[in-house]
Amino acid sequence: MRTSRISKETSKIINATFPPSASRRSTRSSLSRFAHGNAATENEESPEPSQDTTDIEDVIPSSRKRKRDPTIRTPIKHSPRKTVIKTEVEDSVTFSPSKERKVRKPARQIKNEETGEVEIHPPNDWAEVYAVVKEMRISGAAQHAAVDTMGCERLAEETVSPKVKRFHTLIALMLSSQTKDTANAIAMGRLQKELPACKEGAPVGLNLENILAVDPKLLNELIWVVGFHNNKTKYIKAAAEILRDQWGGDIPDSIEGLMSLPGVGPKMAYLCMSTAWGRTEGIGVDVHVHRITNLWGWHKTKGPEETRLALQAWLPKELWHEINWLLVGFGQTVCLPVGRKCGDCELGMKGLCKSAKRSKVTLGRKIK
């Protein structure tokens, strides 16, 4: 019997098709129906396959795979649709060079490794911010603020003696608490022109003697335009008596002496010392200075006094007097408490203010 590759594979198929219990001898007659190319067997009648017989394709071993000829390379067909998508993406995507973002660091305490002392380092961009705001105050959007003409240091009369002028500065500061500069200027103008003389032949206007002699009701009427005028009337009358009895009719020449007067806080005391006596011993921090420096991220403080101590820890002393004028005017014209004009602010345009409203800055750039 001739053995061939076809007969061997056929034998494996038959063995896999029928269970082992129904073992039968493989003969030429039993294999004749699977033979190929044999004309004699084609004419013989073959029995009908059983219904339980498995299809021949189901039993062909799947492990035998066709080996691919490595020398033949099938060309890869590229879909035109994919090519179009790839081209569109390459044309639309542009890579811009990465920009280094400025990292803002607030005032912070750093320990000196050599000396072991704790040093206060200022905010890393404070000098640039200060210069931009000063330029705005002098020739930009923040010029012509109310404080420039009606601030407390501007309200004293120039024709009076230095002693009376210092008293004017003190009264202007006492009236300025929680009051706009415009209202404060009106009240000071009435005191300087309408306060009656203490006696016949004495000058009319604002001085210590006339304040001591005036009736509290009349004084209250003269300053009614300022905030909390009832309390301020009491403070001014009480402070006048202290100045007469303890300071020889002049204002105190120390921070402690000024703060001992009723209605005088740290802000008034430091501004009065700087303006009246020409000695800058601290920063006069009002609501504008406190609010704006916190918006810039220079520090996180809860009140003006805490802000004063934080600023004095690192700000150069030659700027202690100027910063009040600088930020009060900036807060009155551009960085308002309500409705900040970020579109007019150079800090927002240059990316120096972390609290700037982006929509307002974008609109301001389009307008410019």
Phi and psi (nearest 5°) for 309? -65, -35
Q: What is the pLDDT of residue 183?
A: 97
Mean pLDDT of 206-212: 97
Q: Which of 76-85, 228-237, 308-317, 352-361 has the lowest mean pLDDT?
A: 76-85
Q: Which domains does the chain have, with CATH numbers?
A: 119-143+284-367 (1.10.1670.10), 150-277 (1.10.340.30)
Q: What is the pLDDT of residue 17?
A: 63
Is 267 catalytic? The answer is yes
Is the full-model pTM beyond 0.85? no
The per-residue b/e assignment along 313-345, b for 16 or more CB within 10 angstroms, e otherwise, is: ebbeeeebbebbbbbbbbbbbbbeeeebbbbbb
Q: Which of 185, 187, 173, 263 is nearest to 225 (CA)?
A: 187
For 137-176, the pLDDT digits (tens) are 999 999 999 999 999 999 999 999 999 999 999 999 999 9
What share of the chain in percent tops pLDDT 90? 66
Mean pLDDT of 123-137: 96
Mean pLDDT of 293-320: 96
What share of the chain in percent tops pLDDT 70? 74
Report yes or no: 178 and 187 within 8 Å, Cβ to Cβ.
Answer: no
Q: Which of 275, 286, 366 is nearest to 332 (CA)?
A: 286
From the candidates 267, 350, 357, 366, give the one annotated as an active-site residue: 267
